[in-house]
Each structure stands twice: as structure tokens, then as C-alpha cells.
Amino acid sequence: MTDQTGDDRYKLLLIEDNPAHARLVREMLRGTPCEGSDIKHATSLSAGLDELQRDNFDLVLLDLGLPESRGMETFTRFYTAAPTQPVVVLTSLDDGQIALEAVKAGAEDFLPKDNMAGSLSRTIRHAIERSRLSGKLLEREQQLRTIFNRSLDGMVVIGVLGKIHFANPAATRMIGADGADRLLFQIQQAKDLDLPINLTFDPDEGPQILAEVRIASISWDNTPHYLVSMRDITLRQKIEDNLRQAQKMEMIGTLTSGIAHDFNNILTAISGIGQFMASSLKVDEEFREDARSILGAVERGNIMTRDLLRLSRPQDIEKITIDLNSLLRKTEKLVAATIRKTHQMKFVYAQESCPVLAAPEALEQVVINLLMNARDATPEQGQLTVEIDSLNRAEPFPAVKGQAPPGRYARIRICDKGCGMPSEIRERIFEPFFTTKEPGKGTGLGMFIVYGIVEQHGGWIVCDSTPGQGTTFEIYLPVDLAKNQVMP
Ligand SMILES: Nc1ncnc2c1ncn2[C@@H]1O[C@H](COP(=O)(O)OP(=O)(O)OP(=O)(O)O)[C@@H](O)[C@H]1O
Ligand SMILES: [Mg+2]
């Protein structure tokens, strides 16, 4: 410790068997800045080690020639028992070689006993300061190591030939077996190292991840290297994609309802003229037949615009509490006639009642649209399944337009083993007028309407599709808890 007069008062332990030498050491410190130090004296190695068990010392002065051991053996025994204790060894004049060995093995310094009068105090002070400094450096290194090890971002130091010199645990988790090669390849391809790049990695465990990667040129062991930092943005990207999709749908929805409104007016005008022509006595029967065809087309157009307009006016739909099971029993009868001609159809109902606040006709349309799509995607005789159940979701879960909140839901699962969809189609199915069917075979409005109705019911859609294997849509509707007495 340094006191206010600038003197250094340390706690020292002198391990020295010769009492005369011990007295000499005290004498030598007289009149030096270390004069006020507290010096404890032990006359053997084992007594010294016992002292260290009892107390803390700034420095140990260790005579290498002790009764129990001599030379380097003394130091080794001491160091094994107290590896973190700063120590200066005291040697005879002809022990220069041993002194150096002890310093290499961990001693702070050495002092030749026969010639230490002028340097004892300085050596003690330097040894203590040096050991404090290296203690601080060690602590700082430990802190940095904790930061690297606990960081969620990956950090990699990679040589220009692709050798990884350092990788923290987050990076090791992310890059997987072929990660180093991919990193180097991308670094070499990158035109501008200042810009971040997005790369996918296949970790040895878990699903593929998307990482934002930044690269800096650094010097490592005096040779050029790259410092690569990488952040897992898989979840962020998914949330952003969902948000973009939701915004796009909102914009398209507004546009579509505007067009549907105008289109409805045009249809009203055409319908008026068509009715006039169809009922006119002045025209022949063939002409009237044409007029009736026009009216038929107008009627189809009316149904379409009615559906679209209903989506844009949620306040107009009237909701009642219904049990999904009984609603879908009616739907089953309705679709049986058409679908059973070509496909097998299975409805599985929930054991419990599933009350939801819904517009029955609209929900029926959701199931019919999904079933028609499932049928169109499935070869003849293939099976389509509709399952109804209810469940508690304890965690938020990803759905088409974002994260659905936890809660009690009634669920309709519509499952086919048809052609499935690649991701570029799956991303677009909810857009109005998006269809992969031949011209005239599909309007591309089915899923748009499904999306709108489910949204109007405060529900969520989850879509899982694999090309060649089939598709499952899940519709989650909040259970009407007020009417939920029968459920636990
Ligand atoms: N179960 C499914 N399996 C495979 N592809 C599907 C499935 N459901 C929807 N799709 C794809 O989504 C597209 C859009 O479906 P949507 O119902 O909106 O329109 P459509 O079926 O093409 O036309 P419409 O519904 O007017 O007959 C379909 O053309 C098809 O490519
Ligand atoms: Mg459809």
C-alpha cells in the first residue's frame, strides 16, 4: 500500500532459514520507501506456506536454499502450493542460472543475497506493481472473454486463406461445418467490405439461419486477416416479411374494394339495359337469349363484387355465437354432392363444443374456398380432410400476417396431399387475382376472401405446404369465452 507520504508499506513474507540474513533484510529496508512495511518471517518452506494460508501478502521473498529443499526444487514446491502469489527469489551469487529459471517459471524477479543492498527496495516495489498490473490485465482479459463468450453476435477472425484463428461460441453455433469456406468465398466476392451482406448458414444443429455479416480488415499476428461479425436475423426477417405482407394486403384490399365499388355501379347499369333488352317485345328470341347471357354474366359479377365489398365493410356483417361443429356439419352436406364425385372427404369433429362469434355464411365460404383449392390441387380419388378442435396456445405463434397472440382458439384444419406450393407461390396466394390456374378456370379471389373473412373474425391463418407432398391450412378463431361453459 502507498501511504500519504509516498512511502510504500507492504505486507511482506520472508521465507529464510538464516536469522542473520533475515535481520539483514530488515536492515536493508531501513531508510528506503519500503521501511514501514510489515515483514513476517518464516524459517522454513512449510512454515511459510502455512503463513500464506492464514494471511494475504503483497510479496514473498523466498530464499532458495532452505533446510527441506534447495534451488529450483524450493521454487517449484512453493509455486505448486501458491501459484498466484507474487514472489521474488533470493539466490546465492553463483545461482544465476537457477534465478533465471525461476523467473521463467513464474517468479516476479530474483535478488542475489550477497549483493542486494542497493536494489532490495526497488525490486520489491517493482515486483509488487508488476504483479498488480498483470492481475489487472488478467482480469480485463477475463472480462473481454466473458463478453465474447456471452455475446449473441458471432465474431470470427479468419485468415486470407480461410483458416479460422478465433471464433466465439455464437459464431461456432451459427456457421456449421462448411461455414469457414462459405465465409471466405463471400469475403472474396464482396466488392465493398464496408457494406453488410446477408448469408444463410446451416448450423450443425437446428434449422438454417440467415445472418447479417459485416467484415473488417485487421492485422492479426502482424499479418492481414478479416474480422467477421455476424448477427442472426432469421426471426427479424420473418417478422419484417410478415409485416410487409400485411401492409401489402391492406393496400391491395383498399384498392380492390374501390374497384369493386365502381365495378358494381357499372354492373348495375349493364343489368338495367340487359333486363330491358331481355324483356323487349321488339327483338327476336335469339337476341333475347343473348341478353339473358349478359344477365347471367352480370349475376356472376355481382356475386364477386358482393364478396369483395363485404370484406371492405366489416361493420355490415352480422355475427352470432355458433358452434363450429354444427356449422361445419351443414357445410359437409353442402359440399358432399360436388366433391365426393371425384375425391374422398373426411370431416373430423371436436369432442367439445367450439363456440365462436361468427357470420355463419362467411365462415362457410372460408371452408368451401379452402376445400375447392384442396380439391383442385389433389389428383382424383385423393383424400381431403377437415378437422375441428379447440386448444390453448400458451405462446405467441407465427401466422400469415404476423404473430398470433396466445389464447384459447377453435381451429379448423384443412389438409390435402396434393401438389403443394413452392415458397414463391405460397407468398402470393392471398393477393387478389393471383391464380396459377388456366385463364377462365380461377379468379384468384378465393384466398383473398378467406384472408379477409378470417381477419374480420379476429382470427389467424397458418399455412404449411411442401411441393409434391400437400398443403395444410389452419384457421384459428378466438373461442367465444362467454359461451364456453362446456369447456374446461
Ligand atoms: N391447397 C392448395 N394446394 C396447392 N395450391 C394452392 C392451394 N390453395 C391455393 N393454392 C394456390 O393459390 C392460388 C390462389 O388460390 P385462390 O383460391 O385465391 O384462387 P384460385 O383457386 O386460383 O381461383 P378461384 O378461387 O377463384 O377458383 C391457386 O391458384 C393455387 O396456385
Ligand atoms: Mg380458389
Cα 88 to Cα 10: distance, rounded to the nearest angstrom? 14
Rounded to the nearest angstrom, the distance between the alpha carbon of 428 and the centre of ligand 2 is 13
State residue 483's pLDDT score: 61
Residue whose cell numbers read 378465393: 446
Q: Please give the single-letter amino acid code of residue 467.
A: P
Classified as helix, coil or strand, 415 is: strand
Q: Tell which atom from ligand 1 comes closest to the C-alpha of 447.
A: 18
**Is residue 355 lining ligand 1, measured as CB closer than 6 Å?**
no
Cα 244 to Cα 56: distance, rounded to the nearest angstrom? 64
Cα 456 to Cα 450: distance, rounded to the nearest angstrom? 10
From the list 318, 322, 299, 342, the residue with the least C-alpha distance to 483 is 322
Rounded to the nearest angstrom, the distance between the alpha carbon of 71 and the centre of ligand 2 is 92
Spell out the residues 6+ positions from residue 228 whose beta carbon is closer than 8 angstroms to its own: 154, 155, 156, 157, 158, 171, 183, 187, 213, 214, 215
Q: Tell which atom from ligand 1 comes closest to the C-alpha of 448.
A: 18
Instruction: Point out the ligand nearest to the CA of residue 433.
Output: 1
**Is residue 471 lining ligand 1, measured as CB closer than 6 Å?**
yes
**Is residue 436 lining ligand 1, measured as CB closer than 6 Å?**
yes
Cα 178 to Cα 138: distance, rounded to the nearest angstrom? 34
Instruction: Point out the ligand nearest to the CA of residue 308.
Output: 1
State residue 441's pLDDT score: 83
State residue 278's pLDDT score: 86
CA-atom Rg of the chain in angstroms: 42
Cell readout for 40 is: 513476517
Instruction: Point out the ligand nearest to the CA of residue 450.
Output: 1
**Is residue 443 lining ligand 1, measured as CB closer than 6 Å?**
yes
E-assigned strands of 173-325? 197-201, 209-220, 223-232, 320-323
Query: Taking a C-beta distance cutoff of 8 angstroms, is the pair 106, 131 a contact?
Result: no
Which residue among 256, 343, 369, 373 has the greatest number of ligand 1 atoms within 8 angstroms of its CB, and so is best to mutate?
373
**Is residue 377 lining ligand 1, measured as CB closer than 6 Å?**
yes
State residue 336's pLDDT score: 86
**Is residue 434 lining ligand 1, measured as CB closer than 6 Å?**
yes
Cα 256 to Cα 244: distance, rounded to the nearest angstrom? 18
Could you tell me the CA-to-CA distances from 227 to 158, 188, 217, 238, 414 in Å, in that order? 7, 13, 6, 27, 49
Which residue among 429, 450, 469 has the greatest number of ligand 1 atoms within 8 angstroms of its CB, and so is best to mutate?
429
Cα 31 to Cα 28: distance, rounded to the nearest angstrom? 8
Strand order in the sheet with 460-466: 344-348, 383-393, 407-416, 470-478, 460-466
Residue whose cell numbers read 484463428: 165
State residue 10's pLDDT score: 93
Cα 206 to Cα 472: distance, rounded to the nearest angstrom? 23
DSSP 8-state symbol, 108: S
Instruction: Point out the ligand nearest to the CA of residue 300.
Output: 1
Cell readout for 384 is: 381431403
Rounded to the nearest angstrom, the distance between the alpha carbon of 177 and the centre of ligand 2 is 43
State residue 5's pLDDT score: 44
Spell out the residues 6+ positions from residue 487 whose beta carbon is closer than 8 angstroms to its own: 352, 353, 390, 408, 479
Q: Tell which atom from ligand 1 comes closest to the C-alpha of 432.
A: 18
Q: Tell which atom from ligand 1 comes closest to the C-alpha of 373.
A: 8
Query: Taking a C-beta distance cutoff of 8 angstroms, is the pair 8, 52 a contact?
Result: no
200-216 residue pLDDT tens: 898 888 889 999 999 99
Q: Tell which atom from ligand 1 comes closest to the C-alpha of 441.
A: 27
State residue 402's pLDDT score: 81
24-75 residue pLDDT tens: 999 999 989 898 899 999 999 999 999 999 999 999 999 999 988 889 999 9
**Is residue 245 lining ligand 1, measured as CB closer than 6 Å?**
no
Classified as helix, coil or strand, 109 is: strand
Q: Please give the single-letter amino acid code of residue 164.
A: I
**Is residue 442 lining ligand 1, measured as CB closer than 6 Å?**
yes
Query: Which residues in the chain come in under a pLDDT of 70?
Result: 1-8, 93, 314-316, 482-488
Half-sphere exposure of 41 (CA within 13 A, CB side): 12
**Is residue 447 lining ligand 1, measured as CB closer than 6 Å?**
yes
